[in-house]
Amino acid sequence: MTGPPWLAGVLAAAMILTAGYAASRIAISRALRVPTEADTDGLHALMGTAMAGMFLPQLRLLPSVVWAVIFGAAAIWFTGGALHVRWAAARQWQCRFPVPHLVECMAMLYMLLALPAVQRTPGMTMPGMGSSPSASAAFPALALVLALFMLGYLLWTTDRIATRARAKKAPAVLPRTQLRALVTVPAAAPNDLNGVASPIDTPGAPEGALPRPTAGHLVLAAHFGDLSKIVMSIAMGYMLLTML
């Protein structure tokens, strides 16, 4: 199975943009001190850079062996994250769903091992298609399973975006009702109310007392992060299908 030459250039450009966006999320989150999934952003920055070189060989920055070592280490990291999440809550900068990213690392290892050793000129065929034997010729079913997983991950991420959008519109649909106090508290001195007042309702609360929501920052918005995951899943699924 081969793909049109122009599509390889489009997907390579999409991977470069995805890698740049993931790297910008890390930089902005550190500058603003807002917790994000730094390990996921770092993985997608590396994956976008590596896959751009897979689609267009002239964009290849590192040999396939070096990339394989990097994504092998990432697979170990997300395996440990999956085991840790099972027994304890993930840290603020760690991914809450590490298993899909573990599968992404496995897919990257498969594609890197499937690439032929001979450097081909861009526009001839998609990566993984050549006369020399490769891992894809020996395990075509694995490429199909990984491609199907990417499709499922794409649908799951799309459903998350739709669910989040419905949750934002839900309060506007509900009718407004007048709230009545269930308990009447007698007036007291200001010092007596310090123990029951909420930090959110206290005008004099310090600015840094409450965590800043990431949705307030455009680059760190959750739906933009999910869209980058969708683009990554499409590119990886397409490349895996070309290896069948």
pTM: 0.71
Render each residue's pLDDT in the chain as its tens digit; 244 residues: 567 888 999 999 999 999 999 999 999 988 888 878 888 999 999 999 999 999 999 999 999 999 999 999 999 999 988 887 665 555 666 778 889 999 999 999 999 987 754 344 344 344 444 434 444 445 788 999 999 999 999 999 999 888 888 887 766 555 555 555 545 555 544 454 444 444 434 344 444 333 444 445 677 877 888 899 999 999 999 999 988 7
As a whole number of angstroms, the distance between CA 22 and CA 18 comes to 6
Distance CA 14, CA 51 (A): 10
Q: Would you call 169 helix, strand, or coil by DSSP?
A: helix
DSSP of 80-97: HHHHHHHHSPPPTTS-S-
- pLDDT score of 140: 83
Given a contact cutoff of 8 angstroms between Cβ atoms, the answer to whether 15 and 228 are in contact is no
19 Cβ contact partners less than 8 Å away, ≥ 6 residues apart: 44, 45, 46, 47, 48, 49, 52
d(CA 71, CA 73): 5
pLDDT value of position 169: 78
Exposed e or buried b for every residue in 28-59, given b needs 16+ CB within 10 A?
ebeeeebebbbbbbbbbbbbbbbbbbbbbbeb
Q: How high is the pLDDT of residue 48?
A: 96
